[in-house]
Amino acid sequence: MLIRKSPDIPSSEITPKADYLSRRTFMTGIAATGVTALTAGRVTRWGGTVHAAEKLQTVKSPLSLKGETLTSLQDITHYNNFYEFGTDKGDPARNAGAMHTRPWTVQVTGLVKKKKTVDIDTLLKLKPMEERIYRFRCVEAWSMVVPWAGYSLSEFIKQCDPQPGAKYVQFLSLADRKQMPQINESGIHFPYSEGLRMDEAMHPLTLLTFGLYGETLPNQDGAPVRVIVPWKYGFKSAKSIVEIRFTDKEPPTTWNMMASNEYGFYSNVNPNVDHPRWSQKTERRIGASLFKQRQPTLMFNGYGDQVASLYKGMDLKKYF
């Protein structure tokens, strides 16, 4: 028997990765947590009922990474930061099932020619879905490789018709204490807020994201819609978005407000700028074999060829 010595050890190090990719094993795991599986496939609990994840029709994207081993679905869905559902890595998987993702709307506000409210089903049908395999790097110095599904955020921004004075895009997440009672335990000011400069938001790599592993997002991974900005630390990729606001000034962001000396507005992955409490020079790849877990951190998470020009002339130690 292998005994866990730390709660941070990912589950794929205890049970072989192939087992977690088995549909039968995964469904058995769900049943063990008290959720009855009425249909095949991943399930989430909505107000006492069980809803099967929906398959997404996707095409392969030329922007996908090649030659990387995907992180297992089990690890992606059970090793999460989502403080609205608790501060431990396993809390979101245990608690996020209470969140209702239908009906769901996203408000478009701020410096746009016409404010509007968009239904999630309209967003899902706006553009063809792509599967994009991206590295995902957390500021806590761990990483994953995830097959996300969505389309470039720029496609939606064009539909929003922002005014010429709009220089930034702010994302606000759901903050419902009835569905998220753990909010009161986190010590963070909610709703969660994140933001990008307009050119960052319009970059083709920035993904408006609706799914992973070919199905709609699990609640704990930011259902039903989030953003993924693969060259930035994970907390920049806002989850469960309910409002997108266009502004002429740098918007306040949650972690920057909490500790501006630790979490800069830009938060680009940079091995040369350490977090005040730990190094960023290496990272731990969740689910990798023991000998491949510790890896060197890549500048811009390896996307430098595509995004470094966005920051030409900037002091990246000052604008971290």
In tens, the pLDDT along 125-161 reads 999 999 999 999 999 999 999 999 999 999 999 999 9
Q: Average per-residue pLDDT in the chain? A: 87
Q: Give one word for 172, left, alpha or beta, with left for phi > 0 and alpha for psi -120 to 50.
A: beta
What is residue 198's predicted lDDT score, i.e. its pLDDT?
A: 98
Q: How far is CA 238 from the centre of its chain?
A: 6
What is residue 185's predicted lDDT score, i.e. its pLDDT?
A: 87
Cα–Cα distances (Å) from 191 to 140, 165, 194, 237, in that order, read 22, 25, 10, 14
Mean pLDDT on 255-261: 96
**pTM of the complete model:** 0.85
Higher pLDDT, 5 or 55: 55
Higher pLDDT, 35 or 182: 182
Residue 302 confidence class, pLDDT cut points 50, 70, 90: very high
Cα–Cα distances (Å) from 184 to 83, 158, 270, in that order, read 10, 37, 32
Mean pLDDT on 12-22: 37
What is residue 102's predicted lDDT score, i.e. its pLDDT?
A: 95
Per-residue pLDDT tens digits for 268-280:
999 999 999 999 9
CATH architecture of structural domain 58-311: Alpha-Beta Complex (3.90)
Angstrom distance (rounded) from CA 135 to CA 66: 11
Give residue limits of the domains in the chain. 58-311
At residue 245, what is the residue type? R
Residue 66, pLDDT above cutoff 50: yes
What is residue 52's predicted lDDT score, i.e. its pLDDT?
A: 60
What is residue 276's predicted lDDT score, i.e. its pLDDT?
A: 96
What is residue 18's predicted lDDT score, i.e. its pLDDT?
A: 37
Residue 16, pLDDT above cutoff 90: no
Nearest to 265 by CA among 299, 314, 210: 314
What is residue 50's predicted lDDT score, i.e. its pLDDT?
A: 33
Mean pLDDT on 298-308: 98
What is residue 187's predicted lDDT score, i.e. its pLDDT?
A: 87
Angstrom distance (rounded) from CA 2 to CA 10: 13
Q: 223 is written with which tokens?
A: 């259902």
Is the CB of residue 207 less than 8 Å from the CB of residue 67?
no
Higher pLDDT, 51 or 295: 295
What is residue 110's predicted lDDT score, i.e. its pLDDT?
A: 98
Residue 217, pLDDT above cutoff 50: yes
